């Protein structure tokens, strides 16, 4: 009816300073069917009952809306949905006015984007109430049976909305350029605890609002800062809280709480270090929630409450960089947000750079340098494997699933871009620039183009860029002017790997007593990619790597075992693939299996056995990979 360009041009012409308009109105978000350029949501009142029996959430989402200037009075409100059962939609004209039922329709289902919920609203509408329920297959939710938890006695529910799964949980304008505040009530079984990535009631033994039979309890939450939909998050389970510092703490199942508190002991110090560098922490508390093993990511930066894989609990605090990473998103990502998923590197590349600055402050530059070198290795591997169009920082993702573009390009090429600027201009200048950037764009969503303008004006002060900006941001490959992170410690480790491989040293002669996970990873990655089974056995007999309980080391080792045909690790491989759900660990192992002779059958068999314990996001990625033909061996 009214084409997008017309409205966009009007918005640009009038030049309003709405959040949405700040994010380059001429480029619609290819991953949302909503039209925030016409009618935009600003606040959500959400009330849902969690039903473990039917694996559904049932309730209502009440959206406050505004019309953008210049848009026609009959423009509908369009929300993204996926698999939602809509019961009724009502509109409210003004505070206190009676809600009136309004017509709506669900548009055709797009396999990637879901279906638009098109709601016809009177021109004076201020609030739209959608009564609905989620599907048991909602892609944002994982309903974990008791066997899939640490305690094995209670079920567990958690959400993962990034990138475009919020729409399966909540009818919403599911684009990171749309921000809203919210209040939520979750009604859940009274013997479990409900948490959200928002301000909640202080944890206490007896939640209020129990029903007459004491079977259900209501939990209330408030998010007072405008956030994008992908940062809505909830979990329900047998959870307990332990304080770690003044503003920090951890939620975990009772069986895991002690280990979690040990592992995260440095969080308060990391928060202080991050604030010194990047400006005030604006979200109040910073807590961490330890999830069941099926969680498909290492961590997820849900505001005030990072969600974390239990594999982070290595027992030696070796995975602190992961927490530094999620904490850093409190600035890069949650405060200043990528406007579309094509701008994902503004979230992740910046966060990896910030993460390493936090690690440098709290654990020393030596450690940060090792992390950078490992990152460079991951980037080089990715560049060797990915087609050119997937090597671009600011790619065109139209028609593509943003979950599948989570590769080292956004993370490591993005971070290396900032490292390179720091090498050219000095770390202090980049540091000052970043601090101002977070302030300038706080609580806004920006595009790569907007960042480039800001960079040219503020860091380059209108002068010629000290790096090849075009190559960095818009072209594949590694730009010739890239900085080369180096670590003297790693050079020694690589030399040892060489001497072992050439037979100059026996495994037993390697002094590994003070090696951390980082040294182990670098040692293993410095070896030629295909050792033979005898060489693997020689290392294993001394270092017992097959038995390593450290998921990072185990994953690296098991991948090498597959490629080497080292069958003594077969049992451990199956066990690992059946007990870990983190996609970053699963994918390289399935990939390796699919490329060795006879591996496809093993991959398919293990997958059939283990998939019930995986998250739908991981299942989808593995299925897609299995569906591709194996390369000729």
Residues at the interface with Zn ion (CB under 5 A): 348, 351
Contact yes or no for 266/320 (Cβ under 8 A)? yes
- The pair phi, psi for residue 488, each rounded to 5°, is -60, -40
What angle do helix axes 267-278 and 320-328 make, rounded to 10 degrees? 40
298 makes contact with ligand BES (CB under 6 A): yes
248 dihedral zone (left: phi>0; alpha: psi -120 to 50; beta): beta
The residues with which 281 forms a beta bridge, in sequence order, are none
Exposure string over 374-402, b if 16+ CB within 10 A, otherwise e: bbbbebeebbeebeeebbbbbbebeebbb
Min separation Cβ 178 and Zn ion, Å: 20
353 given a catalytic annotation: no
The active-site residue out of 326, 348, 412, 552 is 326
| 422, interface contact from Zn ion, ligand BES, none, CB < 5-8 Å by kind | none
Nearest to 324 by CA among 364, 294, 292, 284: 364
Cα 262–chain centre separation: 24
| 300, interface contact from ligand BES, Zn ion, none, CB < 5-8 Å by kind | ligand BES
Q: Output 361 or 403, the one with its CB closest to ligand BES.
A: 403
Residue ranges of the alpha helices (H) in 464-565?
469-474, 488-501, 517-526, 533-543, 551-564
Cα distance from N-terminal residue to C-terminal residue, the chain: 55
326 given a catalytic annotation: yes
Min separation Cβ 299 and ligand BES, Å: 5
What is the C-alpha to C-alpha distance for residues 296 and 163, in angstroms, rounded to an integer? Answer: 13
38-97 positions binding ligand BES, by CB under 6 A = none
The one segment of 325-333, 413-421, 488-496, 512-520 that binds ligand BES by CB under 6 A: 325-333
Exposure string over 295-313, b if 16+ CB within 10 A, otherwise e: bbbbbbbbbbbbbbbbbbb
Q: Output 50 or 163, the one with its CB closest to ligand BES.
A: 163
Handedness of CA 74, 77, 82, 83 (dihedral sign): negative
345-374 positions binding ligand BES, by CB under 6 A = 348
The active-site residue out of 104, 230, 411, 590 is 411
Q: Write out the DSSP string of 581-627.
A: --HHHHHHHHHHHHHSTTHHHHHHHHHHHHGGGS-HHHHHHHHHHHH
Q: Output 162 or 445, the one with its CB closest to ligand BES.
A: 162
The one segment of 278-286, 292-300, 469-477, 558-566 that binds ligand BES by CB under 6 A: 292-300
| 297, interface contact from ligand BES, Zn ion, none, CB < 5-8 Å by kind | ligand BES
Q: Write out the DSSP string of 355-414.
A: HHHHHHHHH-HHHHHHHHHHHHHHHHHHHHHS-GGGG-SS---TTS-GGGG-SHIIIIIH
329 makes contact with ligand BES (CB under 6 A): yes
| 163, interface contact from Zn ion, ligand BES, none, CB < 5-8 Å by kind | ligand BES
Min separation Cβ 216 and ligand BES, Å: 31
Min separation Cβ 321 and Zn ion, Å: 11
The one segment of 169-177, 291-299, 373-381, 562-570 that binds ligand BES by CB under 6 A: 291-299
Binding map of ligand BES across residues 4-23, x = CB under 6 A, - = no contact: --------------------
297 makes contact with ligand BES (CB under 6 A): yes
Q: Output 8 or 113, the one with its CB closest to ligand BES.
A: 113
Q: Output 307 or 543, the one with its CB closest to Zn ion.
A: 307
300 makes contact with ligand BES (CB under 6 A): yes
The one segment of 202-210, 295-303, 381-389, 484-492 that binds ligand BES by CB under 6 A: 295-303
Q: Output 132 or 438, the one with its CB closest to Zn ion.
A: 438
Angstrom distances, CA of residue 472 to CA of 351, 447, 481, 582: 17, 16, 9, 30
Min separation Cβ 405 and ligand BES, Å: 8
What is the C-alpha to C-alpha distance for residues 32 and 117, in angstroms, rounded to an integer? Answer: 12
For residue 598, the tally of other CB atoms under 10 A from its CB is 10
Nearest to 370 by CA among 356, 381, 358: 356
Q: Output 162 or 450, the one with its CB closest to ligand BES.
A: 162
Q: Output 256 or 338, the one with its CB closest to Zn ion.
A: 338
Three-state helix/strand/coil letters over 47-77: EEEEECCCCEEEEEEEEEEEECCCCCCCCCE
384-413 positions binding ligand BES, by CB under 6 A = 403, 406, 411
For residue 601, the tally of other CB atoms under 10 A from its CB is 9
163 makes contact with ligand BES (CB under 6 A): yes
Angstrom distances, CA of residue 69 to CA of 18, 28, 30, 95, 134: 10, 17, 23, 21, 33
Q: Output 163 or 524, the one with its CB closest to ligand BES.
A: 163
Min separation Cβ 337 and ligand BES, Å: 11
Min separation Cβ 351 and Zn ion, Å: 5
Q: Give the helix/strand (H/E) hosting 278.
A: helix 267-278
Q: Which tokens belong to 419?
A: 């490292």
What is the C-alpha to C-alpha distance for residues 252 and 409, in angstroms, rounded to an integer? Answer: 32
322 makes contact with ligand BES (CB under 6 A): yes
Min separation Cβ 206 and ligand BES, Å: 34
Exposure string over 472-495, b if 16+ CB within 10 A, otherwise e: bbeebebbeebbebebebbeebbe
Q: Output 37 or 371, the one with its CB closest to ligand BES.
A: 371
| 606, interface contact from Zn ion, ligand BES, none, CB < 5-8 Å by kind | none
Give the one residue of 25, 30, 171, 299 binding ligand BES; rule: CB under 6 A: 299
The residue whose two tokens read 């183009």 is: 449
| 35, interface contact from Zn ion, ligand BES, none, CB < 5-8 Å by kind | none
Q: Write out the DSSP string of 304-356.
A: TEEEE-GGG--SSSTTHHHHHHHHHTTTBTTTEEESSGGGHHHHHHHHHHHHH
| # residues near ligand BES by CB under 6 A | 16
| 304, interface contact from ligand BES, Zn ion, none, CB < 5-8 Å by kind | none
The one segment of 137-145, 257-265, 296-304, 479-487 that binds ligand BES by CB under 6 A: 296-304
303 makes contact with ligand BES (CB under 6 A): no
What is the C-alpha to C-alpha distance for residues 20 and 551, in angstroms, rounded to an integer? Answer: 41
Q: Output 86 or 352, the one with its CB closest to Zn ion.
A: 352
162 makes contact with ligand BES (CB under 6 A): yes
Min separation Cβ 409 and Zn ion, Å: 13
| 162, interface contact from ligand BES, Zn ion, none, CB < 5-8 Å by kind | ligand BES
Q: By the criterion CB under 6 A, which residues form the site for ligand BES?
A: 162-163, 297-301, 322, 325-326, 329, 348, 403, 406, 411, 584
Active site members: 326, 411
């Amino acid at each position: 009816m009214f084409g997008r360009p017309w409205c966009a041009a009007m918005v640009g012409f009038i030049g309003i300073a709405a959040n949405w308009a700040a994010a380059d109105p001429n480029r619609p978000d290819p991953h949302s069917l909503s039209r925030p350029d016409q009618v935009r949501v600003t606040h959500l009142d959400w009330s849902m009952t969690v039903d473990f029996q039917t694996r559904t959430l049932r309730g209502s989402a009440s959206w406050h809306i505004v019309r953008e200037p210049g848009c026609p009075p009959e423009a509908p409100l369009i929300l993204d949905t996926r698999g939602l059962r809509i019961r009724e939609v009502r509109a409210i004209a003004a505070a206190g006015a009676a809600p009136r039922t309004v017509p709506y329709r669900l548009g055709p289902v797009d396999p990637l984007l879901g279906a638009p919920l098109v709601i016809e609203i009177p021109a004076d509408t201020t609030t739209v109430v959608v009564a609905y329920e989620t599907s048991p297959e909602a892609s944002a939710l994982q309903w974990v049976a008791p066997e899939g938890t640490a305690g094995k006695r209670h079920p567990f529910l958690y959400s993962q909305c990034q990138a475009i799964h919020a729409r399966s949980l909540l009818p919403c304008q599911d684009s990171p350029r749309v921000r809203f505040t919210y209040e939520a009530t979750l009604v859940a079984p009274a013997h479990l605890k409900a948490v959200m990535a928002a301000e909640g009631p202080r944890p206490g033994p007896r939640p209020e609002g129990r029903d007459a039979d004491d079977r259900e309890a209501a939990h209330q939450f408030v998010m007072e800062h405008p956030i994008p939909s992908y940062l809505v998050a909830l979990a329900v389970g047998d959870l307990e809280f332990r304080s770690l510092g003044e503003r920090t703490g951890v939620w975990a199942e009772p069986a895991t709480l002690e280990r979690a508190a040990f592992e995260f002991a440095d969080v308060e110090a990391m928060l202080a270090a991050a604030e010194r560098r990047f400006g005030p922490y604006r979200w109040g508390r910073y807590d961490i929630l330890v999830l069941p093993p099926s969680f498909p990511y290492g961590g997820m930066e849900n505001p005030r409450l990072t969600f974390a894989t239990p594999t982070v609990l290595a027992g030696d605090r070796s995975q602190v960089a992961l927490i530094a990473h999620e904490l850093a998103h409190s600035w890069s990502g949650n405060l200043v947000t990528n406007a579309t998923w094509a701008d994902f590197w503004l979230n992740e590349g910046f966060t990896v750079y910030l993460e390493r600055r936090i690690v440098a402050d709290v654990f020393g530059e030596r450690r940060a340098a090792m992390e950078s070198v490992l990152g460079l290795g991951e980037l080089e591997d990715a560049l060797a494997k990915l087609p050119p169009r997937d090597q671009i920082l600011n790619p065109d993702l139209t028609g593509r699933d943003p979950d599948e573009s989570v590769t080292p390009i956004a993370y490591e090429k993005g971070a290396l871009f900032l490292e390179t600027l720091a090498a050219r201009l000095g770390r202090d200048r980049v540091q000052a620039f970043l601090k101002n950037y977070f302030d300038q764009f706080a609580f806004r969503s920006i595009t790569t183009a907007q960042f480039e303008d800001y960079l040219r004006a503020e860091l380059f002060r209108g002068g010629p860029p000290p790096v090849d900006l075009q190559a960095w941001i818009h072209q594949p490959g590694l730009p010739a002017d890239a900085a080369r992170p180096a670590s003297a410690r790693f050079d020694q480790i690589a030399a040892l790997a060489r001497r072992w491989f050439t037979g100059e040293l026996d495994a037993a002669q390697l002094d590994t007593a003070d090696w951390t996970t980082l040294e182990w990873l670098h040692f293993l990655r410095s070896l030629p990619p295909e050792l033979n089974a005898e060489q693997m056995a020689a290392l294993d007999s001394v270092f017992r790597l097959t038995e390593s309980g450290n998921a990072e080391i185990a994953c690296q080792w098991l991948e090498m075992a597959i490629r080497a045909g080292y069958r003594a690790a077969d049992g451990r491989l199956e066990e690992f693939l059946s007990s870990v759900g983190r996609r970053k660990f699963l994918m390289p192992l399935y990939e390796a299996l699919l490329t060795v002779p006879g591996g496809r059958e093993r991959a398919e068999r293990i997958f059939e056995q283990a998939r019930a314990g995986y998250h739908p996001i991981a299942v989808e990625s593995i299925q897609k990979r299995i569906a591709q033909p194996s390369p000729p061996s």
